[in-house]
């Protein structure tokens, strides 16, 4: 017993000695740099599952488990951003999680608050990563004091564009989809503002045309013009007539146009013009999701061996996303577990490209 403690101490001392830490850090850098040589997923999502079980297994307090989970997140974010992932989405807190004990929920909120406060003190460092933070989810369910911190952090990082960290705070995918449907419907139920009235009317143009083509006998127009304006002389020079007609066009909106346009106008007021609902597509809904700006989800990783999506990224991940379920718990998750996932993803991508290339070649033959 004492022997094993001694050994673990030795191991700890050895692992934390400067040359070893330096070596490990260099190795990580090397591996990440090597990963960059292949295709890199643009958008990766994580379900950070297993903090509580980790704490239970290691006889720690639940809150400490969450703390270690936060550390694991920091490690993984480092890997992601250094290897060139543009968007990372993490499932931090589900709406269902509010059903947990009040003590735990409060502790989690407190943790979020502390971490965000710390974050806000290091604005310059965040700029180095070029990461901006977004919070996805039902904001109204968050305590106001936490929300204040959240907004401060978002504001601090909003100008960074290199990469994005989406934190799904009180989130469920069904709520997100419902929100997107709601938004789309309300966009399509707003009447299109009636187009601005143009200063030309079709009847006038046709009459003008007629007047031009048979200007030898411009009786109609002539008589009307002369009556309305007591023209000086009816010298039928085309230039003058044009000028006259032009001047009458100015008068149009006041006199004859309203009477002509009125019925149409009242019609429009009765039935408002709406955008065509048939123009709604899957892309419309995608654009109204909370992840609208992010590229399509390439990879979803869930730890702790649970093989469910648990209401996370349903809309985003059901097409071509590789979903990976890992058995390790989230606080243990590191480059060691993540590297095989990434390499396998690259491998699959390569295979797909080869296959599609082969099929294309077959078709060409």
Burial 211-243 (b: 16+ CB within 10 A, else e): beeeeeebeebbeebeeeeeeeeeeeeeeebee
DSSP state of 96: G
By C-beta, is 133 or 257 nearer to another protein? 133
| Residue 103 CB burial class (10 angstroms; 0-12, 13-18, ≥19) | exposed
Residue 281 beta carbon to another protein: minimum distance, rounded to whole angstroms: 6
What is the SS3 assignment for 25? Answer: helix
Take residue 55 and report the two structure tokens written for it. Answer: 């704490």
Q: How far apart are the first and last CA of the chain?
A: 70
How many residues in the chain?
Answer: 365
Smallest separation, CB 121 to another protein (Å): 4
* Interacting residues of 240 by C-beta distance below 8 A, sequence separation 6+: none
> Is 242 annotated in the active site?
no
Between 182 and 247, name the residue whose CB sits nearer to another protein: 182
d(CA 141, CA 360): 51
Torsions phi, psi for 237 (to 5 deg): -85, 135
Nearer to another protein among residue 201 and residue 310 (C-beta)? 310
Closest approach of another protein to the CB of residue 85, in Å:
14
265 catalytic? Reply is: no
Distance from C-alpha of 347 to C-alpha of 236, rounded to nearest angstrom: 84
Q: Which two tokens stand for residue 130?
A: 């070029």
Instruction: Please say which residue, 56 or 197, places its beta carbon nearer to another protein.
Output: 56
Smallest gap from Cβ 279 to another protein, in A, equals 9
Q: Is the dihedral of CA 99, 100, 106, 110 positive or negative?
A: negative
> Could you say which of 3, 49, 276, 327 is catalytic?
49
Q: Which is nearer to another protein, 257 or 326 (CB)?
A: 326
Q: Which of 97, 160, 208, 242 is catalytic?
A: 97
Three-state SS letters, 215-227:
CCCCHHHHHHHHH
Shorter beta-carbon distance to another protein: residue 189 or 228: 189
Question: What is the closest distance, in whole angstroms, from the C-beta atom of residue 99 to another protein in the complex?
Answer: 5
Q: Shortest distance, CB of residue 271 to another protein, whole angstroms?
A: 10
Catalytic residues: 49, 97
């Amino acid at each position: 017993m004492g022997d094993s403690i001694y050994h673990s101490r030795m191991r700890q001392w050895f692992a934390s000695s400067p040359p070893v830490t330096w070596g490990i850090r260099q190795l990580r850098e090397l591996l990440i740099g090597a990963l960059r040589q292949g295709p890199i997923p643009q958008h990766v999502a994580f379900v950070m599952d297993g903090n509580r079980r980790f704490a239970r297994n290691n006889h720690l307090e639940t809150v400490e488990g969450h703390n270690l989970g936060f550390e694991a997140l920091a490690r993984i974010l480092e890997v992601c951003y250094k290897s060139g992932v543009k968007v990372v989405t993490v499932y931090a807190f589900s709406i269902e999680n509010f059903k947990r004990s009040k003590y735990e929920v409060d502790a989690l909120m407190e943790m979020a608050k502390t971490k965000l406060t710390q974050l806000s003190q290091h604005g310059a460092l965040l700029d180095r990563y070029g990461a901006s933070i977004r919070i996805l989810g039902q904001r109204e369910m968050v305590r106001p004091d936490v929300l204040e911190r959240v907004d401060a952090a978002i504001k601090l990082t909003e100008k960074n564009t290199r990469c994005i960290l989406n934190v799904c705070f009180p989130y469920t995918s069904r709520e997100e989809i419902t929100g997107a449907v709601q938004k789309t419907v309300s966009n399509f139920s707003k009447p299109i503002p009636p187009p601005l009235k143009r200063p030309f009317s079709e009847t006038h143009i046709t009459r003008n045309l007629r007047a031009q083509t048979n200007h030898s006998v411009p009786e109609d127009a002539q008589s009307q013009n002369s009556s309305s304006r007591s023209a000086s002389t009816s010298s039928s020079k085309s230039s003058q007539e044009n000028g006259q007609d032009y001047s009458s066009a100015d008068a149009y909106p006041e006199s004859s146009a309203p009477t002509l346009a009125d019925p149409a106008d009242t019609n429009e007021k009765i039935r408002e013009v709406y955008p065509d609902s048939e123009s709604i597509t899957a892309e419309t809904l995608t654009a109204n999701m909370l992840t609208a700006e992010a590229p399509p989800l390439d990879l979803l990783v869930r730890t702790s061996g649970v093989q469910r999506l648990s209401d996370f990224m349903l809309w985003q991940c059901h097409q071509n996303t590789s979903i990976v379920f890992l058995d390790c718990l989230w606080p243990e998750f590191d480059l060691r577990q993540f590297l095989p996932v990434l390499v396998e993803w690259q491998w699959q991508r390569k295979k797909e490209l080869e296959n599609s290339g082969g099929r294309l070649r077959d078709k060409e033959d």
